[in-house]
């Protein structure tokens, strides 16, 4: 199966620093900067579509676009965990995207009910990731939510401090205040006590590795 659409040219303006980074990354991949910029656009667009698919909406056009980007654009073979990490969304969201895309391509009546084969371990992992996403529905402070979203996007893994600081202070001109680490520590501690523990969850800290969201041990 192939997917080919008409290509059009667009122009964007980026900072000199971003352009230098783009050129360096393209050189490392031995491709043209314009081609790497196009791939970055595709990945970013897929990520936005992926986040929209986290919500209770159904859009055949989005399914087709996302499916084409994820499954047909590159020659690499992906699994759902790798896709989730590369797009910055949860693995259950990737499963929803792939299943919706297959239904769209095959037709709702002809598509198989189970588009993604799973075993017991995968099912347990997906259910755990879904439970993590449910935590985002809780009422909490804005900073708590930003930190929690970063942790939820990396189920079962430690998230380094640098990534959390970068997300929490992405609009700060210097990448964050001098006491950024302390602010993160304080917000994690308060959120753990006031939001997560009453619902059976906690955040584990590991020196040199960062933070990981996990269930409280019974």
Q: Which of 22-26, 113-117, 195-199 has the highest mean pLDDT?
A: 195-199
Tell me the C-alpha distance between 188 and 72, whole Å.
40
**pLDDT for 119 beyond 50:** no
- Say if 156 falls within a structural domain: yes
150-201: per-residue pLDDT in tens?
A: 998 887 889 999 999 999 998 888 888 999 999 999 999 999 999 999 999 9
Q: Is 124 in the same domain as 102?
A: no
Angle (CA) 138-192-174 rounded to 5° is 90
38-52, 65-79, 104-118, 151-165, range with the lowest pLDDT: 104-118
Instruction: Indicate if 87 and 55 belong to the same structural domain.
Output: yes
In this predicted model, which residue has the larger pLDDT, 27 or 7? 27
| Same-domain status, 57 and 88 | yes
Three-state DSSP at 84 gives: helix
68 pLDDT exceeds 60?
A: no
Angle at 62 between CA 60 and CA 65, to 5 degrees: 110
6 domain-assigned: no
Range of the domain at 34: 16-106
Question: Is the pLDDT confidence value at 57 over 50?
Answer: no
Q: What is the dihedral of CA 160, 166, 94, 105, to 10 degrees?
A: -150
**Chosen domain end from 53, 72, 106:** 106
Domain total of the chain = 2
Residue position matching structure tokens 């800290």:
205
Residue 67 placed within a domain: yes
Q: Is 49 exposed, middle or buried (0-12, 13-18, 19+ CB in 10 A)?
A: buried
Within a domain: residue 114?
no
The strand pairing partners of 205, in sequence order, are 211
| pLDDT bucket at 72, cuts 50 / 70 / 90 | very low
Instruction: Compute the 3-state secondary structure of the chain and give helix, strand, coil in percent, each to the nearest 5.
Output: 60, 5, 35
Task: Please give the biggest Cα pair distance in the chain.
Answer: 58
């Amino acid at each position: 199966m192939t997917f080919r659409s008409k290509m059009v040219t667009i122009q964007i303006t980026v900072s000199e620093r971003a352009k230098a980074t783009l050129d360096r990354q393209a050189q490392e991949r031995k491709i043209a900067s314009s081609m790497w910029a196009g791939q970055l656009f595709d990945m970013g667009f897929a990520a936005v579509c992926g986040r929209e698919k986290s919500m209770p909406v159904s859009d055949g056009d989005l399914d087709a676009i996302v499916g084409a980007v994820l499954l047909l654009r590159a020659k690499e073979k992906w699994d759902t965990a790798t896709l989730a990490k590369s797009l910055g969304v949860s693995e259950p969201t990737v499963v929803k995207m792939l299943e919706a895309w297959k239904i769209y391509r095959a037709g709702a009546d002809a598509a198989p009910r189970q588009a993604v084969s799973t075993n017991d371990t995968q099912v347990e992992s997906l259910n755990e990731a879904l439970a993590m996403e449910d935590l985002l529905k809780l009422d909490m402070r804005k900073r708590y939510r930003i930190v929690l979203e970063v942790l939820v996007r990396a189920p079962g893994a430690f998230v380094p401090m640098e990534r959390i600081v970068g997300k929490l202070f992405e609009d700060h001109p210097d990448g964050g205040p001098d006491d950024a680490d302390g602010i993160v520590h304080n917000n994690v501690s308060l959120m753990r006590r006031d939001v997560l523990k009453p619902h059976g969850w906690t955040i584990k800290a590991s020196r040199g590795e960062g933070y990981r969201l996990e269930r409280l041990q019974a």
